[in-house]
Structure 1
Amino acid sequence: MPRRTAPNVLDRLRTPRRFPGFLKTAAVCALIAGLLSPLSQVAAEAADTTTALAANDYCGGQCSDILPPGENGNATLAQVLLNQAFGIQPDHAEDQLGPYANLATGYSSLTDAKINTFFNDASFGVASDQVASTESPAGRTDVKIVRDKKAGVPHITGTTRYGTEFGAGYAAAEDRLWLMDVFRHVGRGQLTTFAGGVASNQGLEQEFYRNAPYSEADLQAQIDNVIATNGTRGQQALDDANAYLAGINSYIDASDSGRYFPGEYVLTGHKDSITNAGTIDHFKLTDLVALASVIGTLFGSGGGGEVNNALSLLAAQSQYGVEQGTKVWESFRERNDAEAALTIHDGSSFPYGTKPTTAQGQALPDAGSVSTEPLIYDATGTGASQSASAASAAATATALSSAKRGMSNALVVSGSHTASGHPVAVFGPQTGYFAPQLLMLQEIQGPGISARGASFAGLSMYVELGRGQDYSWSATTSGQDIIDTYAVELCQDDYHYLFHGTCTAMDKIEQKNAWKPTTADGTAAGSYTMRAWKTKYGPVEYRATVGGKKVAYTTLRSSYMHEADSIIGFQMLNDPDYVKSPQTFQSATQHINYTFNWFYADSQHTAYYNSGNNPVRASGVDTEFPVWAQASYDWRNWNPTTNTSDYTPASQHPNSIDQDYYISWNNKQALNYTTASWGDGSVHRGNLLDDRVKKLVAAGGVTRTSLVKAMSDAALTDLRAEDVLPDLLKVINSSPVTDTTAAAAVAKLQTWLTAGGKRTETSAGSKTYADADAVRTLDAWWPLLVKAEFQPGLGSDLYTAFTNNLYIDETPSAAHGPTGAHAGSSFQYGWWSYVDKDIRSVLGQSVSGPLAQQYCGGGSLSACRDILIGTLKTAAGTSASTVYSGDSLCSAGDQWCADSIVQRTLGGIKHYNISWQNRPTFQQVVEYTSHR
């Protein structure tokens, strides 16, 4: 039966319920009965029992994957209402959530034979007894979509290239049509007009519009550029995209006439459930570019934050004076920390973004002069009442400058250290938890394409992360700096600027949105206009003065106006005739202009490559701070019309083949390779992987099971407990602890630490943590101790400025992380490295790359001890209801629920919370047995 969609909530990727909450059960049942009648008309073809496992699979049954909550991200209106009224799930909407969740309590007894209890078999093809359905979309004879019984994954097999891509588009629409529609509107800044004007929708569209305010002509120009600059492959990409779109639009037409289209089209007023009036717009090529701009901005655009860096530097210089203040700032920035965990750990150096001896062209703002460029104009109704807060949330790129682009991990071990002699890999991206999921699973087999894995919905003409015939690949977000901030000097008025000496008008780009009242969620009618001012140096982000001159700070990203370029790299990764070795894998990823770490494993080799268009900057430019918009400080050979320049060659990107092992958890890539992220220091969540994999490699005989266990163990560990708490307790225990409250807290923390410092349930399904009180105590203690340790020495202004560069904490329950609370991904951003270095220094231990001065107790061990004990006593007395204050999903004091992972509803289907795990959303476990 064709698949169906089901959204309804978009609150930061979700909104309140968009269907009438007052429907009574009897009315719901009556409505459902009427809506179910068309479903009998859309039955798929009978299962093809002759389908056999593919012969081009060299993994030997040892490739597995998982992607919660389930493959089916579609639901009709009837299915949405059934789910909301009775909790009934559509087929394959939730069947990967349980296995994913259960690894947290099942990994300790894992064996190779049990791996597919927690993962899917990712072998090519579908065994004949596992075929759930077979369909020939639109009656085509050149493609079939076979879905398996276990997970409902579409296995698309075509005899022509066009038919194959047509099938990929049709399957994508079956599984994610509404989600694709949502994100093409997000990419155009049109979400509120499409899905309603709640504050979360406003904030979401504003965030992306500010970063990529493209006109329709801009979107088309990016398509034309791919075709013009990539020869045969560019033309093939265009042909593939057109076939893919034809498949999507064929499903739209079929679901419309058969009346099994996604239910939220009714719930948001686009379709009438009784008369079928209304339309679902066809997709077009520029929609794919709009979608790509959203995904690229979220996960593949490292850098930015130069204005915030400048503000904290000025605060440091104000506090300490220019010379000492600069030293303090540099010590907290940790550009190239000697103790940082590295992905390439063999001593190879890849200088990029390093500090110049003498900075040139710096354009630091005058104190107090910086203001954020307004985005919202002419607001009415709920646009006026909500846009101020929504715009503020969207525009305040303070802390974490590039934090939202974090997440994902990889563990890869060379065959020289495994039991089989073949490399083993456990890796995947952490894209957040949503319902339906942003990613979707698929297998594509056709002329020039042979792959299985995950792709972002609406961009699935190729597999983006997954496996080929005899190799697998995955990615983590890398975060190196491809975004620079320029100070354009204003002339004539606030909307003209000097470009290479000529007064030039800014371009004004506007998007007008209006929405109708929605009774179900209480949103009244409203409207506003989003207005972006663009220069040749990119969109305006801030206004300020520099040395008394009025400037606009603009943001120039190397992938700006090049959102579609990466399609060539993904095309190559899917091509079995192109990728045949680690070298050809690296060559393929060199065609991806977004900032990612790419990992590879086949039966003989492993490899790594860091992608992204790294611009070659003018001599003396410091990438950390704004620079004057003058020709002498432009990127080398920069063409403002095409936004192209010289880029660092592939050999200068961190890259490696057959290192003993690789780990990545968004940590530093290699020596002298500077990322835009603060916090790449002595304690990073990458250490949780590095410590475990290093031990496995030293012992030898690594297996898929042992590597999954290492990943899972790290995924349940509190980074602060494992890598910082031991030294905190050393300070406290440097003298006998006589205070009874402090002594009791120390004992509980030590017991928890001895048990491994993990946030785990007492037993599967208990929803109660073992060592719960110790966990609560550390959660309450950390912000108290950080402030008491650093604020007296830094001063309030500088302390606040540094917290705007880097949050002090990111626990599982923190609402300020890259994707908010209940997001799983944790401990990426925090002050753990600062605390670690400072406490070790106070203890008299050796510290490479110490902070510029000692902070805890002014460097006095006894004074530091007093601070730690005082804050610990306060933390111990802080109630769980205060530490875990509760939200719409959890009552105050519910520790397990506060940490729990929620599949955030982008549609109408809801799922249950699962226990916290800090691991990729989509994940592969692979070990190839042979090679072509």
Structure 2
Amino acid sequence: MRRRIGRLKTATAAAVFVLAGGLPAPLPQAAAANPAALTATAADGDLCQGQCADILPPGQNGNATLTEILAHRVLGTRPAHSSDQLGRYDSLVGGYGGLTDARLNDFFNDASFGVPAAQVESVTRPRPDVTITRDKKTGVPHIKGTTRYGTEFAAGFAAGQDRLWMMDLFRHIGRGELTSFAGGALANQGLEQQFWPQAPYTEADYEAQIERIRATEGARGEQAMADAQAYVDGINSYREKSKNGRYFPGEYVLTGHIDSITNVGEIQPFKLTDLISIASVVGGQFGGGGGGEVQAALSLLAAQQKYGLVEGTKVWDSFRQREDPEAVLTVHDGTSFPYANKPANPRGTALPDAGSVVPEQLVHDRTGSAGTGAKSPVRAPERLKPAQGMYDDGVIAPGSLGGKRGMSNALLVSGKSTASGRPIAVFGPQTGYFAPQLMMLQELQGPGISARGVSFAGVGMYVQMGRGQDYAWSATSAAQDITDTYTVQLCQDEVHYLYRGVCTPMEKLEKRNAWKPTVADSTAPGSYRMQVWRTKYGIVTHRATVGGKPVAYTSLRTTYRHEADSIIGFQMLNDPSFVTDAASFQQAVHNIDYAFNWFYADSRTAAYYNSGMNPVRADGVDPALPVLAERQYEWQNHDPAANTAAYTPFAQHPRSIGQDYYISWNNRQAKGYATAAFGFGAVHRGDLLEDRVAKLVADGGVTRASLTRAMAEAAVTDLRGEQLLPELLKVLRSQPVTDPQQNAVIAQLESWRAAGSQRRESAPGSHSYTHADAVRIMDAWWPLLIEAEFKPGLGDDLYRALTGNLAVDESPAASHGATGAHSGSAFQYGWWGFADKDLRQVLGLPVQGPLAKTYCGGGDLAACRDVLLATLKQAAARPATEVYPADGSCKAGEQWCSDAIIHRALGGITHPAISWQNRPTYQQVAEFPSHR
């Protein structure tokens, strides 16, 4: 039970065949030894003894030559190792029920160090001091070097072999230059417009970040930059060899960078600053936290307008739920870590005047239009945001990245509750489903480095999540508040502002992008300009008035200008001489500046730590709302030149060693640690893990298989069906249902709930759900019932403002929200907790941290029941073709397909859809029998 009380569209086939004319066959990627002549190298220091496993679909190989892309488009073939992990990943949905420890490797890879002789597929020696050995089953690179430089060089070389095109895309996304590089499709424009404004750096800004690491991080900083340079050297070595050998990724031909016949053209060299660009995309997507204070202010104003200042604030606070006593926690032993809570007497809050807020314009001077060639207005009204399913062309698939993701999860059980007496971990990050993946698997063995796991391609000089010799670690996005909104007073004109009493000019940063039609992008020629204004308080996001005076709202995050500082923490995690136990692990991840929850397991203990550059705010500042840009309200010791400030020390970060178990699904961290957004209340998808793991621990004898089963079952469970449907049914059954049709519909929902509320095929490959009608009804009912439950009481304006803070629904079939359709992620964002509290209030059940008012039926049970029955009748009448509309991948009414995960193409190779599962992209199962 919940602890409620007490705790690329390419060209036509004809055009494709034209490109194929005269293209030579691809040459080998590098000189490789005869696998039959190889002998296995001992896996030094591997103390997992075959009890570590991992998986990263669809496959390790993310590069495809033009010949391979054409063969894929025409014949349906795929390059070796590009899709060989997808089937095992997918099959866990149907196979977890009978899972045993002995069968884990039917669904996962053996994550042991090294490659047995019989499993060696190839050995590449990019330098005399290092080898890259790839295994037959997965093609994962196992890198072993006798020198540090050689080890890191080979990591870059292997990254080039597996992800050269994708790394090139991402350095251009970070630099805001994707359309100039890959074509003018709206999807490409949307990505650069999403990410560049978060980190609109000049080349000097990039260089300054590199020099700062060298200058301030001592010997480790010098080593980190040497490692990064070796990694870049390795990428460039492969880049040159593949270009000269004509086995480079075919997308360079399809986008017009290289001529397929003459080989004329260039793949631009990589440099250290490109790594900072890639890091800014990765960190901003997965390791940010906070922000959104302007929208929060708008909903607070709406509440105060409806109910008055005092009562409206109470209503808003009850929806904001910064520290809901019923929320599931990762640290559940009662330890408190106070941070970012609402001050008793807030100071410096700067709410906008009603109706005055205007989003800052990003796009200017647009000419041409994707797909039509039509001329757009010179000044576009506001920034373009990537939306799922609206784009026709582009190397980047529609909705490829979307908003912030947070599907990563972790389940760890301490030894006292396991069958072996050793801790067990099942954990992994969710980085979305892409072809190829944003991450790549690798093993690194060299002086001062010993690890296997995943790294984001392009910044893979170290393993970022994985295992060491006798320990494993992983992370989930934490999203605590490391981003604030400042209210800067304008002076002189709209591009000058007061900084500590002095009228100061804003800095204009801009990117000009122009594109021509390519084979991969059929858009007409065009161009546009992105522009942002930078202040010492961050990037301007909105304009408004406060008390009648013009202001600009700015966004400032602590990791701005510090995109690569976290390299030190990752270096430590890969260093077996540094991480020797849980305590040293916590010290390592404390050096990671982004907002993540970190988990650790060795043979002796499990542990947790929440990382992030948490700013020390001025006394009385409310971090949930915009604050005046005055010195007295700035972050303590803030220096805008390098964006440094005082940060909370190690001891104030949520952390734990040896707790009975840990779960995380991007839920709240600990008591006292306020959330940075709406939606962390009485129902959270973390409850799907909490309830299952708590039961396993209570029963004892936990195994790797049983903990994996708990994860897999939660991954196919509908949060609404498990956590909300019981209360909905109580209301519906509070009086006899006399309408036979309605009674039958309710009985369907009851049957589904009794069977586990799952969205799972009736048989593997059937592409139809057991309880398909009940699932359809719930999908149709939820948005109807939430609106009917809350909107009459809140009123149109406040309901609209609150749904601007938190979307009502994120079911697997939803095509909206932060992650969009076919992304796997579901049930992170929604009004689950609000509905739960409201329904319990109507039913007269105990509620801690109740909503300030009761909404369903105005608080009357009979009236609430009428609301639910009316909306349920509407939902039941909606046909599947309306509930599951057609998109680019599914026909109308195809329920399974609407839910299904589809790997979004970042290049020319695509993959078949797989069953929905709410699960990390990369996942480990680890249990270490011994320790050094």
Smaller-chain TM-score range? Answer: over 0.9
Q: Which residue of 1 aligns with 2:23?
A: 35
Which letter maps to 2:881? Answer: S
Pair 33,706 (structure 1): closer, same or farther in 2 beyond 3 Å: farther
Q: Does 1:64 align with 2:53?
A: yes
Task: Give the TM-score of the pair, scaled to structure 2.
Answer: 0.96
Q: Report the secondary structure of 1:679's partner residue.
A: coil
Q: Does 1:196 align with 2:183?
A: yes
Measured in 1, the distance between the counterparts of 2:30 and 2:590 equals 44
Picking from 378, 383, 391, the partner of 1:391 is 383
Higher mean Cα deviation, 815-824 or 452-461? Answer: 815-824
Aligned residues of 1:199 and 1:390 also touching (Cα < 8 A): no
Structure 1's consecutive aligned runs of 4 or more residues displaced over 6 angstroms after TM superposition are none
Pair 684,253 (structure 1): closer, same or farther in 2 beyond 3 Å: same
Q: Which residue of 2 aligns with 1:55?
A: 44
Q: Which residue of 2 aligns with 1:11?
A: none
Task: Give the TM-score of the pair, scaled to structure 1.
Answer: 0.96
Structure 1 residue 818: Cα displacement: 2.5
Q: Report the secondary structure of 2:668's partner residue.
A: coil
Q: Which residue of 2 aligns with 1:437?
A: 437
Identity %, equivalent residues: 63
Q: Deviations over 1:581-610 (max 9, x none)?
A: 000000000000000000000000111000
Q: Does 1:271 align with 2:258?
A: yes
Aligned residues of 2:283 and 2:594 also touching (Cα < 8 A): yes
Picking from 358, 361, 367, the partner of 2:354 is 367
Q: Does 1:132 align with 2:132?
A: no
Q: Report the secondary structure of 2:385's partner residue.
A: helix
Measured in 2, the distance between the counterparts of 1:63 and 1:71 equals 18
Q: Report the secondary structure of 1:35's partner residue.
A: coil
Structure 1 residue 268: Cα displacement: 0.1
Q: Which residue of 2 aligns with 1:900?
A: 900
Structure 1 residue 381: Cα displacement: 1.2
Q: Which residue of 2 aligns with 1:851?
A: 851
Q: Which residue of 2 aligns with 1:237?
A: 224
Q: Deviations over 1:451-510 (max 9, x none)?
A: 000000101100000000000000000010000000000000000000000000000111
Equivalent runs, 1:309-458 vs 2, <5 Å: 309-382=296-369, 385=376, 388=380, 391-393=383-385, 404-458=404-458
Q: Which residue of 1 aligns with 2:9?
A: 17
Q: Which residue of 1 aligns with 2:399?
A: none
Picking from 245, 252, 259, the partner of 1:258 is 245
Structure 1 residue 861: Cα displacement: 0.5
Measured in 2, the distance between the counterparts of 1:311 and 1:475 equals 33
Measured in 2, the distance between the counterparts of 1:481 and 1:737 equals 47
Measured in 1, the distance between the counterparts of 2:837 and 2:800 equals 20
Structure 1 residue 41: Cα displacement: 8.5
Pair 580,841 (structure 1): closer, same or farther in 2 beyond 3 Å: same
Which letter maps to 2:802? Answer: F
Measured in 1, the distance between the counterparts of 2:458 and 2:873 equals 52
Measured in 1, the distance between the counterparts of 2:42 and 2:595 equals 36
Aligned residues of 1:360 and 1:622 also touching (Cα < 8 A): yes
Higher mean Cα deviation, 521-530 or 298-307? Answer: 521-530
Q: Report the secondary structure of 1:498's partner residue.
A: strand
Aligned residues of 1:405 and 1:479 also touching (Cα < 8 A): no
Q: Deviations over 1:625-666 (max 9, x none)?
A: 000000000000111111101000111100000000000000
Q: Aligned-residue CA RMSD in angstroms?
A: 1.6
Q: Does 1:488 align with 2:510?
A: no
Measured in 2, the distance between the counterparts of 1:37 and 1:237 equals 39
Measured in 1, the distance between the counterparts of 2:779 and 2:387 equals 29
Aligned residues of 2:183 and 2:521 also touching (Cα < 8 A): no
Structure 1 residue 672: Cα displacement: 1.2
- How many residues align? The count is 907
Measured in 2, the distance between the counterparts of 1:302 and 1:545 equals 26
Equivalent runs, 1:432-581 vs 2, <5 Å: 432-518=432-518, 521-581=521-581
Measured in 2, the distance between the counterparts of 1:265 and 1:380 equals 25
Q: Deviations over 1:398-432 (max 9, x none)?
A: xxxx9614220000000111000100000000110
Pair 389,896 (structure 1): closer, same or farther in 2 beyond 3 Å: farther
Aligned residues of 2:134 and 2:140 also touching (Cα < 8 A): yes
Measured in 2, the distance between the counterparts of 1:308 and 1:625 equals 9
Q: Which residue of 2 aligns with 1:756?
A: 756
Measured in 2, the distance between the counterparts of 1:390 and 1:79 equals 40
Equivalent runs, 1:424-823 vs 2, <5 Å: 424-518=424-518, 521-823=521-823
Q: Report the secondary structure of 1:827's partner residue.
A: coil
Q: Report the secondary structure of 1:404's partner residue.
A: coil
Structure 1 residue 49: Cα displacement: 2.3
Q: Deviations over 1:240-289 (max 9, x none)?
A: 01111110000011001100000000000000010000000110000000
Aligned residues of 2:256 and 2:519 also touching (Cα < 8 A): no
Which letter maps to 1:233? Answer: R
Which letter maps to 2:55? Answer: I
Q: Which residue of 1 aligns with 2:136?
A: 149
Measured in 1, the distance between the counterparts of 2:148 and 2:618 equals 45
Q: Which residue of 1 aligns with 2:282?
A: 295
Measured in 1, the distance between the counterparts of 2:307 and 2:49 equals 63
Aligned residues of 1:403 and 1:677 also touching (Cα < 8 A): no
Q: Which residue of 2 aligns with 1:82?
A: 71
Q: Report the secondary structure of 1:22's partner residue.
A: helix
Measured in 1, the distance between the counterparts of 2:482 and 2:273 equals 24
Unpaired segments ≥5 residues, structure 2: 1-7, 389-401
Measured in 1, the distance between the counterparts of 2:756 and 2:376 equals 49
Q: Which residue of 2 aligns with 1:95?
A: 84
Aligned residues of 1:518 and 1:524 also touching (Cα < 8 A): no
Equivalent runs, 1:169-248 vs 2, <5 Å: 169-248=156-235
Structure 1 residue 731: Cα displacement: 0.4
Q: Report the secondary structure of 2:63's partner residue.
A: coil
Aligned residues of 1:300 and 1:405 also touching (Cα < 8 A): no
Which letter maps to 2:310? Answer: E
Q: Which residue of 2 aligns with 1:6?
A: none
Measured in 2, the distance between the counterparts of 1:580 and 1:65 equals 22
Aligned residues of 1:21 and 1:520 also touching (Cα < 8 A): no
Aligned residues of 1:99 and 1:118 also touching (Cα < 8 A): yes
Aligned residues of 1:32 and 1:82 also touching (Cα < 8 A): no
Measured in 2, the distance between the counterparts of 1:40 and 1:674 equals 54
Pair 811,366 (structure 1): closer, same or farther in 2 beyond 3 Å: same
Q: Does 1:162 align with 2:149?
A: yes
Which letter maps to 1:227? Answer: R
Structure 1 residue 342: Cα displacement: 0.2
Q: Which residue of 1 aligns with 2:395?
A: none
Measured in 2, the distance between the counterparts of 1:84 and 1:42 equals 26
Structure 1 residue 210: Cα displacement: 1.3
Measured in 1, the distance between the counterparts of 2:197 and 2:26 equals 43
Aligned residues of 2:145 and 2:446 also touching (Cα < 8 A): yes
Structure 1 residue 76: Cα displacement: 0.0
Which letter maps to 1:638? Answer: H
Which letter maps to 2:204? Answer: A
Aligned residues of 1:856 and 1:863 also touching (Cα < 8 A): yes
Aligned residues of 2:61 and 2:139 also touching (Cα < 8 A): yes
Structure 1 residue 675: Cα displacement: 2.0
Pair 553,749 (structure 1): closer, same or farther in 2 beyond 3 Å: same
Pair 403,326 (structure 1): closer, same or farther in 2 beyond 3 Å: farther
Structure 1 residue 886: Cα displacement: 1.4
Measured in 1, the distance between the counterparts of 2:30 and 2:576 equals 35
Which letter maps to 2:634? Answer: D
